[in-house]
Structure formats: structure tokens, C-alpha cells
Amino acid sequence: MDEQTLAGALQDLARRGFTQNLSVEGNRLRVVETGKTLRPEDVVIREYHRFEGVSDPDDMAIVYAIEAEGGMRGTLVDAYGAYSDPAVSAFLSAVPVRRTQ
């Protein structure tokens, strides 16, 4: 995986089947393409990758590879550190991390 850039990580994850774009709305995860919403207990985090900006240490992001019941696989991107979205952090705190073997 090209872990040097966020774009490279997203491309690699898409090649591996994490093709849906995800967002957090309230206490639900939303599949952007379909509008379907999921609860924390419906999904697992398969992996995550953190990135720090080359010129600005405040320019940090994290990408989560998430899988849901029924086979939906997608990615959720959030800022990392002081600029992270509290709604994303709250949602993900209830989601287990189960790395793919």
C-alpha cells in the first residue's frame, strides 16, 4: 500500500473492495452513494491509517476501512487530533476493530 499519501491509501483500499464513501450523521454511519444508515453494532473497522501533512503537522487525517453486515465495504476519512469531528469520534468509539487476517 502507498501509505505515503491519503489518496494512495484510498486507492489501495478501493482496489481491495472498500468502494463506498461513508460519513457520520448523528449517531449513524451513512453510505453516501445509497443513503443507507448503519448503527455502530452493524459495522467493524478492518484497518485504519494515519497521515500527517509534510509541511504542517496540524494537517493530519485518518482513514478507516469499514465493513458492515451484508458485505458493504467503505472508507471514512476524518481529521486527526485537534481538528477531528466529535461526531465521528463518538460513533467510532462504539465500533470494534477487527483486522482482516
Tens digits of per-residue pLDDT, 2-20? 457 888 999 999 999 999 9
Global pTM value = 0.87
3-state secondary structure of 48: strand
pLDDT tens across 63-88, in order? 999 999 889 999 999 998 778 889 99
94 phi/psi in degrees, rounded to 5? -100, 5
3-state secondary structure of 46: strand
The arrangement of strands across the sheet holding 43-52 comes to 37-38, 28-31, 20-25, 73-79, 60-68, 43-52
The pLDDT of residue 70 is 87
* Structure-block grid coordinates of residue 85: 469531528
Distance of CA 100 to the CA centre of its chain: 15
The pLDDT of residue 1 is 47
